[in-house]
Every structure is written in structure tokens, then in C-alpha cells.
Amino acid sequence: VFVSFVPRLREVYAVYCQNHDSAVAQLEKYMESPEIVEKLKNCLFKSGKEESLVWSLNSLLIKPVQRVLKYPLLLGKLVELSSQSDAGYKHLLQALEGLQTIAQDINELRRRKDIVEHYVNREGKEDRKISFRSLNKKVRRLKWSLVQKAGFRAKTVDPKFEEEEQRVLFMETLLTSLIKDTQSWMDEVQRVLRSKESLYDSMSHYCVEDTACLADYKSCLKSMTTTCKEHTQRVETRVLEPAQSLLALFQNPLHLIAKREDKRLDYDYFQSALEHAEEPEKIKQLREECLQAKRNYEALNAQLLEELPHFTSKAASLSTHLLKLLLQVHYVSV
């Protein structure tokens, strides 16, 4: 049974355990609201006292995380108490190996997420406090980047990641252009209205006798101003502001892409330094630094490869929706 369910267990538990900490953090925010706390208590009470001895939702959330780590212990004990001649011994070993792999994969996924959250939470703090060590790393990375661009050193390449990176950059450029063009159009509408108002002021000085013409022009100008303001307001609230909010969401992915590039440069640098090192102590130090750089680079690279396709897909869908809304607003106004 365990052997047949290993792929499904990995799929379900990996996602759950990876997002457990975020769920707990969100729950803690909800617990600050007495109204939400009361509703949660009612839901837990309605679940039936005889069905569960655990009344804290936080405790319920941790159960699957604890359970998946207990499966290998259970199977390990069964292997220990079984004989190699038993009919199910081979399957027990397969199930144990599969569940141990799941536990290792879950730990790796959580480690990746911890690294991502670490860099996201540190965003902006590095700029406020630059130490000599961080400055030295920046200079080294810049130098190594120039060396690689010049073709003097090999560069670690991941074609799949580069494809996803280009998609993100394309979507950011598209949104930036949409915001810029929409804002320019709104500014142009305001400029035209100001020019019409200026023309009316001039006409009122030179067409004193033709009051009927002035009145008609003023009435048309008032109607046009009202219509244009209503139209630009709809464009601003339905298209411009949502587009600006969507563009702001690109900040973290782009920051992580930049961090991934930093870690790639570190990894390539230490690899090259290790190849040219001669002293045993230096080799030992560089090997440890290279291993750490490799782990950080691969963790960020893998996490971005997992998350970027979902992000760009949603961003593309929302961008298309915003373009349709823009056309719809213009069509309704016309």
C-alpha cells in the first residue's frame, strides 16, 4: 500500500509542509481578531468532541507535518522486526526507502523556501547597512561577471531558467508600457481640456458681442469636461491602479532573480578558485565555500523554476484582462 502511494504522498505532503509555516503565520494574524477566533471555535466545536481530542487549529495544522515524518519510523520498526525471508520484506524496504526520500525532499523544499523568504525579508536592509564584507562581495561579483561576459571563464547555464526569466522580464516590460501609455493618454486628455478652457478665456475677451456663441461653446466645454473626467476616472480605477498594483508584485521575483544571479556568480567563482588552489588549507576552505555556494544557488534556482511559471501565467492572464477592460471602458464611453 505504501509503495503504491509514495508518488501521491510526496505530491500532497510536499506542498502542505512547504506552506505550513506561512499558514501558521497567517493564522496568528487571524487570531488577533476576536470575531474570527469565535468563528473558529464554533467550527471546531461543530466537528464533534468525540472525533478529535485536539482543539487548537494550530495543533491540527502541525499533525500532517508530524505524520509524514513518523511513517519512516513505523516502517523502519517493521523492517527491524521482520525477517528477510518474509513475503512482504522486499516491499517494506521499498516503502521505507520511498518515505525516507519523501522526508528528505520535504526538508529540501522547506530549506529552499527558507532561503527565498530570507532574501525577500532582507530586501532593502542591505542598502541601508553595507559592511566591508558585503562591499567586497559586490566588487568580486561585478569583477567575475565582467570576466565571464568577456569569455575568459565558464558560466553555469540553465536554459530553462533563462526562458522563465525572459518571460518575467517581458511581462514587466508589457505592464510598464501599459501604465506609461495609459498615464500619457490621461495627461493628454487633461492638456486638451486646459487648452479648450484657455481658448474660451481668449474668446470671451474678443467676442463680447456674440454672447450666444460664447454660451454654446461654454456649454459644450462643460459637457466635454464632465465626460472626459468621468472617462479618465474609470480608466484610472479599473485599469491604471490595478496595473500598478500588479507591477508592484514583480518586485520580489525580480529581487530573487538578482539574488540567484549573485549566488551563481559566487558558485562559479569558488569553482574556479578551487581548481587553481594548491595549499591544502586553502583547498579545504574553498571546498566548503564552494559547496555552500552551490547549495544556495541550486536552492534558489530550483525554487524559482517551480514558482516563476505560475507567477508569469497569472500575470499574463491579469494583464490580458486589464487590456480587455481598457478597450471595454473606451468602447462604453464612445
Are 319 and 171 contacting, i.e. CB atoms less than 8 angstroms apart?
Answer: yes
- How many of the other CB atoms lie within 10 Å of CB of 268? 22
What are the residues whose beta carbons fall under 8 Å from the beta carbon of 149, sequence distance 6 or more?
none
The owner of cell 517493521 is: 78
DSSP single-letter state for residue 279: S
Burial class for 330, CB neighbours closer than 10 Å (0-12, 13-18, 19+): middle
Cα–Cα distance, 175 to 166 (Å, whole number): 14
Instruction: Give the pTM.
Output: 0.70
Cα–Cα distance, 59 to 65 (Å, whole number): 11
Q: Could you tell me which of 55, 98, 58 has the C-alpha nearest to residue 75?
A: 98
Burial class for 308, CB neighbours closer than 10 Å (0-12, 13-18, 19+): buried
Cα–Cα distance, 176 to 227 (Å, whole number): 27
Q: At CA 110, angle to CA 109 and CA 114, rounded to 5?
A: 120
Burial class for 48, CB neighbours closer than 10 Å (0-12, 13-18, 19+): exposed
pLDDT in tens, the chain (334 residues): 778 888 888 888 888 887 888 888 888 888 888 888 888 777 766 655 545 545 567 777 888 888 887 888 888 888 888 888 887 788 888 888 888 888 888 888 888 777 777 777 765 555 555 666 778 888 888 988 998 888 888 889 999 999 999 999 999 999 999 999 999 988 998 888 888 888 877 777 776 666 777 788 788 888 888 888 888 888 999 999 999 999 999 998 999 999 999 999 999 999 998 888 888 888 999 999 999 899 889 989 988 998 899 999 999 999 999 999 888 887 655 4
Cα–Cα distance, 284 to 92 (Å, whole number): 40
Backbone φ and ψ of 275, nearest 5°? -65, -30
Cα–Cα distance, 296 to 23 (Å, whole number): 24
